[in-house]
Amino acid sequence: MISDIDCLKVGKPAPNFTATAVYDQEFIRVQLEDYLGKYVVLFFYPLDFTFVCPTEIIAFSDQYDRFQGMNTEILGVSVDSEYSHLAWIQTDRSAGGLGDLKYPLVSDIKKNISLAYNVLNDDGVALRGLFIIDKEGLIQYSTVNNLAFGRSVDETFRILQAIQYVQANPDEVCPADWQPGDKTMIPDPSKSKEYFTAI
């Protein structure tokens, strides 16, 4: 018998969910499938009112407009309640809070979303999982960090650019550290030599 977790793979559909989130200091309903037609950066973090987490959450908010320019929405998720999210947002950044954010924070208090994405640890909190979901609802990228170290928003954005490039140019692939404007590669034994002879 194949479990839902076994189906959580790059190239497969992202598990749908419906949950309460906080956005613009209001409670809203978020359903992942409502974002079809857009890319989604879905990231999990351990807990509200912690230490590494606000640095990531704020960094994604500060760069939100860049993601918007790439037809991409951002969703942050933790196992806290929507009330905890709201209190943290209403706490000033200088006091360890978040201040206003440009994207929703989703409550996963029942832990169903974290379980579906296989990021729930033995202590009942989410590891730092990050998933890039394309406009068809397919997972194109996933990474999971342990609790003590944060992720790179710039690297997430670079990966998003590479995903969108190869989806728009299916006969090409992006080599290591590719940036927009860099040379790509044709995935063919003969044609790929054009890339390697140029470096």
Strand 26-31 relative to strand 39-44: parallel, antiparallel, unpaired? unpaired
The domain in which residue 188 lies consists of: 172-199
Given 21, 41, 53, 98, which residue is catalytic? 53
**Dist. CA 87–CA 96, nearest whole Å:** 12
Q: What is the pLDDT of residue 2?
A: 38
Q: What is the pTM of this model?
A: 0.94
pLDDT confidence bin for 1, thresholds 50/70/90: very low
Question: In this structure, are 47 and 94 located in the same domain?
Answer: yes
**Dist. CA 85–CA 98, nearest whole Å:** 9
Question: In this structure, are 122 and 195 located in the same domain?
Answer: no
Interhelix angle 153-168/52-62, nearest 10 degrees: 50
Q: What is the pLDDT of residue 5?
A: 54
Catalytic residue status for 53: yes
Question: In this structure, are 26 and 87 located in the same domain?
Answer: yes
**Dist. CA 183–CA 126, nearest whole Å:** 37
Question: In this structure, are 77 and 18 located in the same domain?
Answer: yes
User: Does residue 3 carry a pLDDT above 80?
Assistant: no
pLDDT per residue as tens digits for the range 21-65: 999 999 999 999 999 999 999 999 999 999 999 999 999 999 999
Select from 163, 117, 161, 120 the least CA-distant residue to 140: 163
- Residue 186 contacts residue 171 (beta carbons within 8 Å): yes
How many domains would you assign to the chain?
2
